[in-house]
């Protein structure tokens, strides 16, 4: 059986989990050998699995949101959009 890309995408999670029928697995591997798109999809899917597999959670520091907003407000104050002094160049 010749698989097209859509078939392969359906099989990718099974492929990574090693739960595919041996024949299907062989067909998927055959497709991956010549299809750059599916190889890339396989790679990125595998990367996502690696990233999410160990239950790592990235927590923001306490008060991060408040500090971020305060910083943004400060930057907007410190960065005038219409500053007459900057128009003159060397002064």
Distance of closest approach, residue 47 Cβ to Zn ion, in angstroms? 18
Interacting residues toward Zn ion by CB under 5 A? 5, 35, 37-38
6 versus 56: smaller Cβ distance to Zn ion: 6
54 to 32, 57, 74: CA distances (angstroms): 27, 9, 38
Distance of closest approach, residue 1 Cβ to Zn ion, in angstroms? 14
33 versus 85: smaller Cβ distance to Zn ion: 33
DSSP 32-84: HHH-HHHHHHHHHHHHHHHHHHT----PPPTTHHHHHHHHHHHHHHHS-SS-G
37 versus 72: smaller Cβ distance to Zn ion: 37
Token reading at 70: 């305060």
Distance of closest approach, residue 5 Cβ to Zn ion, in angstroms? 3
């Amino acid at each position: 059986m010749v698989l097209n890309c859509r078939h392969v995408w359906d099989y990718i999670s099974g492929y990574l989990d090693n739960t595919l029928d041996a024949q299907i697995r062989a067909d998927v591997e055959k497709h991956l050998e010549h299809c750059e798109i599916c190889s890339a999809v396989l790679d990125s899917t595998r990367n996502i699995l690696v990233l999410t597999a160990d239950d790592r959670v990235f927590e923001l520091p306490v008060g991060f949101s408040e500090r971020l907003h305060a910083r943004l407000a400060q930057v907007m104050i410190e960065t005038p959009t219409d500053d007459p002094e900057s128009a003159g160049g060397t002064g």
